[in-house]
A and B are shown apart, each in its own frame.
Chain A
Amino acid sequence: MTNRAEMTRRDILKSGAAASTVTLGPGVTLMAFGGTPAEASSRADAGKRWGLLIDASKCSADCSDCVTACKVENGWGQDMEHGHIDPEQAPEWIRKVTLRDKETGREVSAPVMCQHCEDPPCVDVCPTGASMKRIDGIVQVDKHICIGCRYCMMACPFKARSFVHEAVTDQSVNAPRGKGTVESCNLCAPRIDSGRIPACVEACEKAGHSAILFGDLKDPDSPISKALRDYDTVALRSDLELNAGVRYTNL
């Protein structure tokens, strides 16, 4: 398996049991995390690159369950609902857009979030290195060293980032966030690190749409890689050649 070679020393030591399960066959790469909660150990894995494939034909214009799930999971969005912050200053980790093709008039709907670029402009421009890409491809802000200069927001082609404009209290334990720093979708890194799928993906499944496909782009046998081979897909602003980890089909 491709993952074996890049596993850290400790992972190898620990997952003695997991090693056998890994060889079971394609599609079970997650076994590299280690099998049972008792030997729980997680670490971002350079052998993986997490990504999403969004099927706009399956996404419903009047459903925003992914956005709601993200708000609940990461504890943002109450500010605006409480009505004391300007909508343009409110956080927006994920948003729904409905588009009309100028030529054909066809209407489609899809969620837009951080596109988790392979070459993220936000990471290039960040003066302190707070805007960062994990080795498994997740792009996020390390708020411990973010100074709030907002240059990453200038650089992002997708308007994926928000600046926290006022003090926050009672944050979700999974998503520390606070005044004066920049934030964005982190693909639910705490969930992924504990072997769970992102909240938006789960919500979309629960709503019965299954419009967001989640998986490992580096694993050629993963469902997302197969789908990318089989369908015509696009990356937003593909002219910039950022190699986004979030792809769209039927857009």
Chain B
Amino acid sequence: MALEQTIYRELKATAGVWQAAALLGAFLVAAGGAWFYMEHHGHAVTGMNNQIVWGLPHVFAIFLIVAASGALNVASIASVFGNKHYKPMGRFSSLLAITLLVGGLAIVVLDLGRADRLIVAMTSYNFKSIFAWNILLYNGFIAIVAVYLVLQMMRRLDYKWVKLAGLIAFLWRLALTTGTGSIFGWLVARPGYDAAIMAPLFVMMSFAFGLAVFILVLLTLLRLNDRPIGDELLMRMGRLLGIFAAAVLYFTAVQYLTASYAAEHRDMVRFILVEGGIYTLLFWGVQVVLGGLVPMALVFLNPSRSSTLLASILVVIGGFAQVYVIVIGGQAFPLQIFPGYEVIEGFHEGIVNPYTPSIWELMLGLGGVALALFAAGLGAKILRVLPTNLSDANLAAKG
């Protein structure tokens, strides 16, 4: 038996690849149109208002940004923690991390009231703002992971440099997700946020969402080019996904248990967990059961190729619901400005803030996803990042 090794080749432009590109392109065009419409008419045409100031675009954006740092995990596991099974996927993992972040940031930027002033955000910094820190963390992430990707692709390079770059990228991605979580965790005013656990919760969410997105995108691209991927490898990734999903549930449990212990936050906990209507449904039904318990049951009780695939899809859906509950639910719960008083006349005082996303916000959000996927596909088309053969036999032979 000939000793095979990992060979990276550009994606071949099959009909399927072209169809996928055309589909994503359509989403991009739609998002461009939606953005132009929102930019021209102002945010009056969106469902966002002075109570729900961040809406569906931010849900998409935060999901993508969180998933971006998680998508890098596969590369980190290989080069930082020395796992040989994940090494062939390291290049694509790095590429996907960059494109997911770009997709997420594109949504945030295009949703700005003054997107034309993006340059101001790059030149005028308030260093006390966690948001300003995040701008540096995001730009730094793209630069560091790009270098890491190049080092992985260099031939005849001492592997210690890849390891070093991988370590820096891994530490940076932890900082990045801590920063993203702290955008909410440091908001003292709102009972739904204002908690240190937001940072580790977001780190754990990124592990789960990022791996799930990585599995789905990888499987799609491999299938488009009829490249094999082994059952054993997929089940291995499925098990890891199950552990991450369990960890997300754990942090979520601690988050709400802690909040329910404080009398001042009890109303908020009751809102999300019991009386919140759509938010309660999304929390229990989609986030906890569909996005947490079911994937865990699939990968641990019935490990298989299709279990991993299905679990990945469910983790993505559950993750999206979780971000929705955090971002929108946290704003829908009313601010308690006058404790001890009942507001009998006022402006949306003490009542749950309604939010109905508009089609434009949905199109913009989906456009960000399309951008991330299109860029990942394009990267795989022009760079040698995807291995030709990920079958178990090949991996074993190589090891």
Could you tell me which A residues sit within 8 Å of B by CB distance?
61, 85-86, 88-92, 95-103, 107, 109, 112, 121, 123-130, 145-151, 153-159, 161-167, 179-182, 236-237, 240
> Given the complex, which residues of A lie within 8 Å of B183, measured CB to CB?
151
* Whole-angstrom CA separation of A227 from B190 in the bound complex: 31
> Given the complex, which residues of B lie within 8 Å of A180, measured CB to CB?
42-43, 112-114
Judge whether A159 and B50 touch: CB under 8 Å.
yes
Question: When A89-B43, A89-B50, A180-B113 are in contact, do A155 and B341 touch as well, CB less than 8 Å?
Answer: no
Question: When A127-B131, A145-B124 are in contact, do A95 and B347 touch as well, CB less than 8 Å?
Answer: yes
Judge whether B113 and A95 touch: CB under 8 Å.
no
* Whole-angstrom CA separation of A151 from B130 in the bound complex: 10
Of B15-23, B197-205, B235-243, B331-339, the one contacting chain A is: B331-339
Given A147-B118, A236-B338, A237-B337, 18 further pairs, Cβ under 8 A: A90-B50, A91-B50, A102-B341, A121-B189, A124-B128, A125-B130, A126-B129, A145-B124, A147-B113, A147-B117, A148-B112, A149-B121, A153-B53, A158-B337, A159-B348, A165-B43, A236-B337, A237-B189
6 closest Cβ pairs, A-B complex: A148-B113, A180-B113, A157-B189, A97-B346, A88-B49, A98-B345
Determine the interface band of chain B, counting residues with CB < 8 A from chain A: 35 or more
* Whole-angstrom CA separation of A127 from B131 in the bound complex: 5
- 10 residue pairs of the A-B complex, CB under 8 angstroms, read A89-B44, A97-B343, A123-B126, A126-B129, A129-B126, A147-B117, A149-B108, A149-B131, A153-B50, A166-B42
* Whole-angstrom CA separation of A97 from B351 in the bound complex: 13
Tally of A-B Cβ pairs under 8 angstroms: 172
Interface of B is mostly: loop
* Whole-angstrom CA separation of A124 from B183 in the bound complex: 12
Nearest residue, chain B, Cβ from A97: B346
Could you tell me which B residues sit within 8 Å of A by CB distance?
41-44, 49-51, 53-54, 108, 112-115, 117-118, 120-121, 124-126, 128-132, 135, 183, 186-190, 331, 335, 337-338, 340-349, 353-354
Nearest CB of chain A from residue B134's CB, rounded to whole Å: 8
Judge whether B335 and A99 touch: CB under 8 Å.
no
Nearest residue, chain A, Cβ from B126: A129
> Given the complex, which residues of A lie within 8 Å of B343, measured CB to CB?
97-100
> Given the complex, which residues of B lie within 8 Å of A123, measured CB to CB?
126, 128
Nearest CB of chain A from residue B69's CB, rounded to whole Å: 20
Judge whether B348 and A88 touch: CB under 8 Å.
yes
